Amino acid sequence: MATSRWRLDLAYDGAAFNGFALQPDQPTVVGALRAAIARSLRLSEAPFLVGAGRTDAGVHAIAQVVSLDLPEGALAPAGVTSFLRSLNGQLRGEIVVTRALATHEGFNARHSAQWRAYRYLVAPAPRLASSAAFAWSVEGPLDEAAMNEAASLILGTHDFRAFCKRPADKGPGEALVRRVDDASWTRRPDEMSLSVSGEDFLVFSIRAKAFCHNMVRRLTSTLVAVGQGHLAPAEISRRLASLSGVGLPAPAPAAGLCLVGVGYEVLDGGPAGRWRE
C-alpha cells in the first residue's frame, strides 16, 4: 500500500500520562494519539509514531513533534482542518495537535531534529498545591548569579554520566556524551499572581541536540542547590570530570519540566515551538 509521510506538532499535559512512549496497559501520549488517529481516519491499524523526544511521566510539552506514515489519500490537504478538529475533540485537551503537515519521505521527527529545548520552572515558596502541576516550589532566596555561573560550566561537549540515569542498554563504563549549546536562568515576574508571595519565578532554559535520561531534571536540582548555597558553582566541573553523581540531589520533580522547542530545517517544516522569546 502506498503511503505518505506526515508531521504532527502537538502539546500535552504530562500529568495525564505515564510518559510519552508507548507502554502496554499504561496511558501514554503515543498510545492516546495513535488510537485517536486510527479512529479519525478509520484505519484498520493504528500508525507507528516516531517522536522528537521521549518525555518522562509527568513532563509536559508545548512543542513535541511526531512523524508517521499514512495510507496515500487518507488525509487529503483539504481535510487537515477537520482531521485536527476530530483529533482534538477526542483528546479532550490532554493532548492538543496544533499542526498536521504533509512532508517528504526522508523526514524523521527524531533523527531530523537539529536541537531540543526545555524549560524548567521554579516557583517561590510557600505555594498553593495547584502550582505543583507546573512548577517546583523551592525555599529561597536563590542566588541567580551563582546558578548562572554554574550553568555556564555545562556548555559545550561533556560526558554527562554524573547527571544522567544510565539506559538499560548502556554498560557502566560507556560514555554519555552530549553537547549543550545554551543554558541559563532568568527571572519572570508573577504577572498572573500564581504564587502566594508574588515573588518572581525562576526559569531554567537549556538547549542541546539531544539529552540523556533525567539529564535536565538532575542538572536543575544541582543548580538549585548551588543557588541555595549548598554547593559551589565549581562542583559542576568537578562532577563532569569525576563522572560521579553520588551524593548529588535527587532529580527535580517532573512537573516543572516542559519541552518547549524542537529545531528543524525549513525543508522539514521549520522549528516547532520557540527558543526564547
Are the C-beta atoms of residues 218 and 245 closer than 8 Å to each other?
yes
Residue of 9, 13, 25, 56 marked active site = 56
**In this structure, which amino acid lies at residue 147?**
M
Which of 4-8, 64-68, 197-201 is predicted with the least confidence, judged by mean pLDDT? 197-201
Q: pLDDT digit string (tens) for 167-208?
A: 777 777 789 999 999 999 999 877 666 666 667 889 999 999
Common-topology check for domains 3-112 and 115-259: yes
Which class would CATH give 3-112? alpha beta
CA distances from 44 to 39, 69, 78, 165 (A): 9, 14, 22, 38
* pLDDT value, residue 271: 96
pLDDT single digits (tens) 88-102 = 999 999 999 999 999
CATH architecture assigned to 115-259: 2-Layer Sandwich (3.30)
In the structure, what pLDDT confidence band is assigned to residue 108 with cuts at 50, 70 and 90?
very high
- What amino acid is encoded at 25 in this protein? D
d(C-alpha 75, C-alpha 94), whole Å: 23
Residue 153 has pLDDT above 60, yes or no: yes
Q: Does the active-site annotation cover 182?
A: no
β-pair partners for 199: none
Q: How many CB atoms lie within 10 A of CB 97?
A: 22
Select the more confidently predicted residue: 189 or 87: 87
Stronger pLDDT, 247 or 197, i.e. the higher one: 247
Would you kindly state where each structural domain of the chain is located, as residue ranges?
3-112, 115-259
Reported as a pLDDT band with limits 50, 70 and 90, residue 276 is low
C-alpha cell at position 257: 519540566
Whether the per-residue pLDDT at 267 is higher than 70: the answer is yes
